[in-house]
């Protein structure tokens, strides 16, 4: 019996790491999405692709989707994963953590409070490092989001995605990847909660090349006009719990409910990175509606991360 072969030659990522979304070129981002779709359609073709490979999972923050999808991805590709929780640089310097793990495992996945921790791991480790969430970026989530939108629309080019809520790590990764893929983006936020200015400038520069617009506004009507998808996230992320009551007051007018969805284009999809605080940033009526694709996004975390592992581990060892 002939062994099934992957449809892709599994090109490597030139940067060698994924510390932020921009470690992937536009071409590599498109390849990752194409590969993720193929992995999803033909999982058997990749069942032994990472045979003998072990990945380290370093998690400073609690996790359901990120932890389990990376563990399942490694195992379904023929490899395995080891989890360590708690502060990454708590007992010893991050540099020492990196130089230990590179001796034992083939890749490091880090879910951290501080972007610097991810950057330091990549600086000192001679194996690939993946940002599985930091205070600045959440690339793995957004790769899954873009895969989900492609599945529902065929192409994201010329469509519009509106993000409603805090100008946080998810908003940063969404605007960077949307602009690079030709997807118009609006970030609708209360005053004082704007996204990072440098990230916005980078996204707008990418948009000049693809024709995508990047808008930051406090006006719901303006931002949601013509939106083909509406995305939200929790109002207070991990580490911001002390701000929860104040944020609940400020963000209340930005709750994604039926009235807010009606401001978007007819049939607009609803997205959320999960976990959702139901009846806070989104109502049950919206998240359980026929336009909600939140569990498609969650499923696609697995497939997008499989593609990322394949691309990062296919190149020569450093």
| pTM beyond cutoff 0.85 | yes
More confident call, 3 vs 244: 244
**Residue 236: its pLDDT value, please?**
84
138 catalytically annotated: yes
Considering the candidates 119, 247, 273, 303, report the single residue annotated as catalytic: 273
pLDDT exceeds cutoff 60 at 8: no
**Model pLDDT, residue 6:** 57
Active-site pick, 17, 120, 135, 141: 141
Q: How large a percentage of the chain has pLDDT more than 90?
A: 92
The answer to whether 211 and 182 have CB atoms below 8 angstroms apart is yes
- Of 111, 159, 247, 303, which one is the catalytic site residue? 111
**What's the chain's length in residues?**
318
Mean pLDDT for the stretch of residues 9-14: 81
Mean pLDDT of 80-100: 97
Given the residues 65, 138, 247, 272, select the one marked as catalytic.
138
Residue appearing with tokens 């719990």: 241
Q: 300 pLDDT exceeds 80?
A: yes
Question: Which parts of 113-224 are beta strand (E)?
Answer: 129-131, 160-164, 184-188, 214-217
List beta partners, residue 229.
161, 269
Residue 303 scores a pLDDT above 90: yes
Residue 30 has pLDDT above 80, yes or no: yes
Note the pLDDT of residue 243: 84
Distance CA 233, CA 272 (A): 6
Number of H helices and number of E strands within the chain? 12, 9
String of DSSP letters for 288-312? TSTTB-HHHHHHHHHHHHHHHHHHH
Band of pLDDT at residue 35, cut at 50, 70 and 90 = very high
Residue with tokens 């983006």: 185
Q: 211 near 159, Cβ under 8 Å?
A: no
Local confidence band at 314 (pLDDT 50, 70, 90 cut-offs): confident
pLDDT higher than 60, residue 173: yes
Reported as a single tens digit per residue, the pLDDT across 233-272 is 999 876 677 788 999 999 999 999 999 999 999 999 999 9
pLDDT band (50, 70, 90) for residue 275:
very high
Helix pair 139-153, 26-41: axis angle to 10 deg: 70
* Cβ atoms 136, 115 nearer than 8 A: yes
Q: Verify whether residue 111 is a known catalytic residue.
A: yes
- Residue tagged active-site, from 150, 159, 172, 301: 301
Residue 31 binned pLDDT confidence (cut-offs 50, 70, 90): very high
pLDDT digits 0-9 by tens, 75-88: 999 999 999 999 99
Q: What is the mean pLDDT of residues 109-118?
A: 98
> Nearest Cα to 188, choosing from 115, 133, 263, 241?
263
Instruction: Tell me the C-alpha distance between 220 and 312, whole Å.
Output: 39
pLDDT value of residue 7 = 55
Of the residues 38, 106, 135, 233, only one is catalytic, namely 233
Tokens of 269: 């999809």
- What is the rounded distance in angstroms from the CA atom of residue 8 to the CA atom of residue 203? 29
pLDDT tens-digit series, residues 196-241: 999 999 999 999 999 999 999 999 999 999 999 999 999 987 667 7
Beta pairing class for 229-232 and 80-85? unpaired
DSSP secondary structure string for all residues of 15-31: TS-BSSGGGS-HHHHHH
Higher pLDDT: 157 or 3? It is: 157
> How far is it, in rounded angstroms, from Cα 179 to Cα 124?
31
- Percent of the chain whose pLDDT exceeds 70: 95
Residue 296 scores a pLDDT above 70: yes
Is the pLDDT assigned to residue 316 strictly greater than 50?
no
Catalytic residue status for 123: no
For residue 314, indicate whether it is catalytic: no
């Amino acid at each position: 019996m002939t062994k099934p072969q992957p449809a892709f030659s599994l090109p490597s990522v030139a940067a060698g790491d994924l510390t932020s979304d921009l470690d992937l070129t536009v071409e590599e981002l498109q390849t990752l999405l194409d590969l993720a779709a193929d992995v999803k359609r033909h999982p058997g073709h990749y069942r032994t692709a990472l045979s003998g490979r072990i990945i380290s999972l370093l998690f400073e923050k609690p996790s359901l989707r990120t932890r389990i999808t990376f563990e399942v991805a490694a195992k379904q590709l023929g490899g395995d994963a080891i989890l360590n929780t708690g502060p990454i640089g708590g007992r010893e310097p991050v540099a020492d953590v990196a130089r230990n793990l590179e001796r034992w495992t083939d890749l490091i996945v880090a879910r951290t409070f501080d972007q610097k921790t991810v950057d330091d791991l990549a600086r000192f480790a001679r194996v690939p490092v993946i940002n599985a969430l930091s205070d600045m970026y959440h690339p793995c989530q957004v790769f899954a989001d873009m895969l989900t939108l492609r599945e529902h629309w065929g192409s994201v080019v010329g469509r519009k995605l509106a993000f409603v809520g805090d100008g946080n790590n998810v908003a940063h990764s969404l605007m960077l990847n949307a602009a690079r893929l030709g997807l118009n983006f609006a970030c609708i936020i209360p005053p004082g909660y704007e996204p990072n200015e440098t990230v916005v400038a980078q996204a707008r520069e990418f948009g000049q090349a693809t024709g995508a617009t990047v808008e930051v506004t406090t006006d719901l009507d303006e931002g949601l006009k013509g939106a083909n998808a509406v995305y939200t996230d929790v109002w207070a992320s991990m580490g911001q719990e002390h701000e929860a009551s104040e944020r609940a007051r400020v963000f209340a007018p930005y709750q994604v409910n039926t009235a807010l969805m009606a401001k978007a284009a007819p049939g607009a999809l609803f997205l959320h990175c999960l976990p959702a605080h139901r009846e806070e940033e989104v109502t049950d009526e919206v998240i359980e509606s026929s336009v909600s694709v939140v569990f498609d996004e969650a499923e696609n975390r697995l497939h997008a991360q499989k593609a990322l592992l394949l691309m990062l581990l296919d190149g020569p060892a450093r």
